[in-house]
Amino acid sequence: MDIAPCVSDDDYEQWRQVRIAVLPYERTSSVAELRAGDSPERLMVLARVDGTVVGSGMAQPSDTAGGGSVIPRVLPEHRRRGVGTALLHHLVAHVERLGLPVLRAGADDEGSLAFAERFGFREVNREIEQTFRVEGPVEPTPVPAGVEVVTAHDRPGLWEASYERFGRECLADFAVDTPLEVSPERWARDWLVDPMFLAVHDGEVVGCAGLGLDADDPSRAENGLTAVRRDWRGRGLAIHLKLVALAWAADHGVSEVYTWTQDGNAAMRALNTRLGYATTRVGLQLARPLHPA
């Protein structure tokens, strides 16, 4: 078996195809989006046997403080032959070079969890997937007084400028086991979707909700970050913004909108349930010290 970094666009496309085969229910970034995230800190690899791609891997600093995320993926027909193990060792070596003390991973199915546990990972968090089926036009609630709703696309620079006050506060309020640590660059690149609807007051972002569209399957989309600044909570702003996003979906032929929410985020889960989202999947977030005792 050979494990080599992704270099050409064709490598990136093959990496994407492994992710699509392993996670058919999720949107996968385009080659251009993956390229935009290129950095010496991020490693993307392909595992091949006799020239045929059998798996892929990604390792990079995670959004949690001190964490290095490792994601080995093996095509279902090539599992239980040691490919996952080889990929994991390769990815862990990269996190070690980055000098990060904690490994972070995830598992959505029993087999992957058994694999991860065998290598010392333990559950630290759970995420729930909730799905909204668009069955007709969606009518948003009235815009709460005092705000104007715009798209990030129509106001270049507004999202980037929202990091200091809005972004930091929303990230600090995530129901996670370890605080999030997201740089302004990552906020601008990884946390912005299109369309992203922004509630603006006094020139500042006080709320957001949006959709990550899926070029591989235009009938579905993933909710981007839904958040409201602390001083604007309790006024129906999140519901309004989320309904604006769902109305956009209904108007653009998107029939399914899914979202992942931390198990501990009771407020967002209740809001989704009230809007008609049904729980569709559970994902485990796992962690392990880089060097287990």
Ligand X SMILES: CC(C)(COP(=O)(O)OP(=O)(O)OC[C@H]1O[C@@H](n2cnc3c(N)ncnc32)[C@H](O)[C@@H]1OP(=O)(O)O)[C@@H](O)C(=O)NCCC(=O)NCCS
Q: How far apart are CA 35 and CA 33, in angstroms?
A: 5
Q: Which stretch binds ligand X (CB under 6 A): 31-39, 74-82, 130-138, 225-233?
A: 74-82
Q: Which is nearer to ligand X, 26 or 237 (CB)?
A: 26
Q: Is 15 in the site for ligand X (CB under 6 A)?
A: no
Residue 105 CB, nearest distance to ligand X (Å)?
A: 4
Q: Which is nearer to ligand X, 55 or 224 (CB)?
A: 55
Give the chain's count of helices (H) and strands (E): 9, 13
Q: Which of 3, 65, 66, 79 binds ligand X (CB under 6 A)?
A: 79
Size of residue set near ligand X by CB under 6 A: 20
Q: Is 85 in the site for ligand X (CB under 6 A)?
A: yes
State the number of CA atoms in the 13 A half-sphere of 80 facing the CB.
4
Q: Is 105 in the site for ligand X (CB under 6 A)?
A: yes
State the number of CA atoms in the 13 A half-sphere of 51 facing the CB.
0
Q: Is 118 in the site for ligand X (CB under 6 A)?
A: yes
And the tokens for 213? 């569209």
Query: Within 234-293, which residues bind ligand X (CB under 6 A)?
Result: none
At a CB cut-off of 8 Å and minimum separation 6, what does 201 contact? 146, 147, 148, 232
Residue 113 CB, nearest distance to ligand X (Å)?
A: 8
Give the phi and the psi of residue 200 in degrees, each rounded to 5: -120, 135
Sequence letter at residue 162: S
And the tokens for 189? 């690149």
Q: Which is nearer to ligand X, 72 or 210 (CB)?
A: 72
Residue 77 CB, nearest distance to ligand X (Å)?
A: 10
Q: How far apart are CA 277 and CA 46, in angstroms?
A: 36
Q: By CB under 6 A, name the binding residues for ligand X.
A: 22, 71-74, 79-85, 105, 107, 111-112, 114-116, 118
